[in-house]
């Protein structure tokens, strides 16, 4: 009975969204591009609500505030946050005028302060250019390529990357174990492309110098100890310059870009927060219901370089 009810609710929701699209097209006379943008932003909310098991007609202001807090939490630029929330307000306004709802839960939903500055976000094409700029003829070329792929594949903080251990790699399962702020550990899905680059690097690594006490670190400097944050910072600056990118970027830019590209690609907000190792500012134990397989498929399927990699490998 419950599955039938769920199916009916989904059909009703699909009908409401179709009517909303007609409203935007016919009554608002929006262009095709604007329609697509509104639809894409609404889908971010619908994906979030689905994960929370909340129907569109049961949404409260608290639900919308948690969604908005999540956008801020993963580092989405304030202008993008404002655009997404504006589209969502338009949807709930429609639900009221079309008599689906009596009151508008988004009425008191506040947008971000646009003056708040976040680090730059790189486009997928710019990230590709930076990675392609790595000089593979240099001794450290494979290591540098693996560093960039891991940063962008997993959305790691630079300190998490520098401290990554061989004993934290679970390649057969497609995860790595990461120790974040406050010594909190989390499992992070890692892409097939990043796994391949790390495996190539490990061949070079094992032929080089390894200092006593650093045998378990994945990424080593020339002199045999683990790489430093400053070194990764300089590497990214240097490669960005060589790739002709003038944005002011740092290793953290890869983390912000990772989160932005996943959200724009349709990944679930909760899954992205979990990947980044963030605590929601609205709730406490929010990740307990996120199944590991679901988390992995959410991230791997929506990550732009993974989509490209699968096409190159002929994987469907």
Q: Using one digit for the tens of pLDDT, what is the confidence trace for 150-163?
A: 999 999 999 999 99
Kindly give, in sequence order, each residue whose CB lies less than 8 Å from that of residue 239, ignoring residues fewer than 6 positions away. Answer: 130, 133, 134, 144, 148
Active-site residue, 83 included: no
Q: From the candidates 6, 18, 181, 247, which is the catalytic residue? A: 181
The closest of 160, 185, 187 to 176, measured between CA atoms, is 187
Q: From the candidates 66, 143, 278, 302, which is the catalytic residue? A: 278
Cα–Cα separations (whole angstroms), residue 106 to 32, 41, 78, 262, 281: 25, 15, 18, 25, 19
Q: Using one digit for the tens of pLDDT, what is the confidence trace for 111-141?
A: 776 554 555 789 989 999 999 999 999 999 9
Residue 287: the pLDDT is 35
Residue 264: the pLDDT is 82
Residue 285: the pLDDT is 36
Residue 277: the pLDDT is 82
Q: From the candidates 143, 157, 256, 305, which is the catalytic residue? A: 157
Torsion sign (Cα): 95, 101, 104, 105:
negative
CA geometry: angle 164, 167, 172, nearest 5 deg: 105
pLDDT < 50 positions in the chain: 1-2, 116, 280-290
Active-site residue, 252 included: yes
Active-site residue, 255 included: yes
Active-site residue, 278 included: yes
Model's pTM, two decimal places?
Answer: 0.67
Q: From the candidates 47, 66, 255, 256, which is the catalytic residue? A: 255
Residue 283: the pLDDT is 34
Residue 145: the pLDDT is 97
Report which DSSP code applies to 265: T
Active-site residue, 79 included: no
Active-site residue, 311 included: no
Domains and CATH numbers, the chain: 2-97 (1.10.150.130), 124-313 (1.10.443.10)
């Amino acid at each position: 009975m419950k599955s039938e009810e769920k199916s009916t609710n989904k059909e009703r929701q699909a009908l409401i969204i179709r009517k909303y699209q007609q409203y935007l097209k016919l009554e608002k006379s929006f262009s095709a591009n604007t329609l697509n943008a509104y639809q894409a932003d609404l889908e971010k909310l619908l994906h979030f609500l689905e994960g929370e098991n909340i129907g569109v007609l049961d949404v409260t202001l608290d639900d919308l505030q948690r969604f908005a807090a999540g956008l801020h939490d993963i580092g989405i630029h304030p202008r993008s946050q404002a655009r997404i929330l504006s589209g969502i307000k338009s949807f709930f306004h429609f639900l009221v005028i079309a008599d689906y709802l009596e009151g508008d839960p988004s009425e008191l939903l506040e947008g971000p302060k646009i003056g708040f500055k976040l680090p730059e976000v790189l486009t997928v094409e710019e990230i590709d250019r930076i990675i392609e700029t790595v000089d593979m003829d240099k001794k450290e070329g494979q290591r540098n390529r693996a560093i960039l792929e891991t940063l962008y594949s997993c959305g790691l903080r630079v300190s998490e990357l520098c401290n990554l251990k061989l004993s934290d790699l679970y390649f057969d399962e497609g995860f790595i174990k990461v120790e974040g702020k406050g010594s909190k550990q989390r499992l992070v899905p890692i892409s097939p492309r990043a796994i391949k680059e790390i495996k190539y690097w490990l061949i070079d690594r094992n032929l080089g110098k390894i200092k006593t006490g650093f045998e378990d670190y994945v990424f080593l400097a020339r002199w045999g100890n683990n790489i430093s944050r400053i070194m990764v910072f300089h590497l990214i600056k240097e490669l960005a310059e060589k790739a002709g990118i003038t944005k002011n970027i740092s290793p953290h830019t890869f983390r912000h870009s990772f989160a932005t590209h996943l959200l724009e690609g349709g990944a679930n907000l909760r899954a992205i927060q979990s990947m980044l190792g963030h605590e929601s500012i609205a709730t406490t134990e929010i990740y307990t219901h996120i199944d590991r397989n679901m988390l992995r498929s959410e991230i791997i399927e929506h990550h732009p370089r993974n989509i490209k990699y699968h096409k190159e490998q002929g994987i469907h």
